[in-house]
Amino acid sequence: MSSQSEEPKRSRRRKKEFQCHCCKEGKTFCWNCGCGFQICPECFAENKWGISNGPTWICPDCERIHMME
């Protein structure tokens, strides 16, 4: 009996273009920073008090300021 499953589970590029640095999940969209930091809208909402200041949000890694649009 040879039951070999040769599914390439480790594909280097997923369909999801982003990976949230907070929940580690692949997402179709994340707020992202030039330093590589990415955060999904869900986590962003949870951490809004910490990283957002009205129309802007600040990258917790490099403290760069981004506009929310």
Q: Residue numbers of the site for Zn ion (CB under 5 A)?
A: 20, 22-23, 33, 35, 37, 40, 43, 59, 61-62, 64
- Give the nearest distance from C-beta 31 to Zn ion in angstroms: 10
* Phi, psi of 44, rounded to the nearest 5 degrees: -60, -45
Q: Please tell me what DSSP assigns to residue 19.
A: E
Distance CA 14, CA 35 (A): 21
CA 57 to chain centre: 15
Residue 1 or 34 with smaller CB distance to Zn ion:
34
Residue 5 or 39 with smaller CB distance to Zn ion:
39
Residue 51 or 59 with smaller CB distance to Zn ion:
59
